Amino acid sequence: MKLIGSYTSPFVRKISVLLLEKGLAFEFVNDPPYEAQTRVGEHNPLAKVPVLLDEHGEAFYDSRVIADYLELLPAGPRFVPDDRALALRVRRGEALADGVTEAASLLYRESLRAAGKQDEAWMLRQRDKLQQGLDALEALAQEKALLNGEQLTLADIAAGCALGYLNFRRILPNWCVGRPALVKLAERLFARESFARTSPP
């Protein structure tokens, strides 16, 4: 298998962590989609990463779709429960963490624009999404069931990548204040080999 993406993408990191945790062999192809010479569009018409090419060359894209594909493979462990109701709730946690990541990514992109061209009202909305999303993740982490429980889930991995991205891009530096369960979750996840090996440069 080949994983196409960028070392700095939190969504690519999510898939990298899954592959490592499952012990699946893969080749990583560093191809940042924002660079002029990118070839990502040859595999994903939306020219977004991550893209996973299976052994037959079939392309899967969008991190949630790729995660579904990896869960179908016989390699273990599983990160989504077999019980459909529980699986839906784990996937909801994943979607929440991915939404935090997306808001953080949009904020970072906007911050790269000249100060006079930044849309402050739009950035404020993204910061509100971040705060609300993190508060919801904290509540889930405190329950220690589908997130921050004994068994690692896809929601955990997505949340860990979201928090790692906040740290990496220095977005909302005080995110940890008042969120002790998320801090403990981050500490536990970042100590795992899969997260240590995928830390952005």
pLDDT digits (tens, 9 = 90+) for 27-79: 999 999 999 999 999 999 999 999 999 999 999 999 999 999 999 999 889 99
Domain 2-72 identical in fold to domain 84-192: no
**Burial class for 103, CB neighbours closer than 10 Å (0-12, 13-18, 19+):** buried
Q: What is the helix (H) or strand (E) element at residue 49, kind and residue range?
A: none
| 99 backbone φψ class: left, alpha, beta (φ>0; ψ -120 to 50) | alpha
User: What CATH number labels 2-72?
Assistant: 3.40.30.10
Strands 27-30 and 51-53, by their bridges, are: unpaired
- What is the residue extent of each domain of the chain? 2-72, 84-192
Task: Compute how many other C-beta atoms are within 10 angstroms of the C-beta atom of residue 98.
Answer: 22
**Predicted confidence (pLDDT) at residue 177 exceeds the cutoff of 90:** yes
| 62 backbone φψ class: left, alpha, beta (φ>0; ψ -120 to 50) | left
Fold of 84-192: Glutathione S-transferase Yfyf (Class Pi); Chain A, domain 2 (1.20.1050)
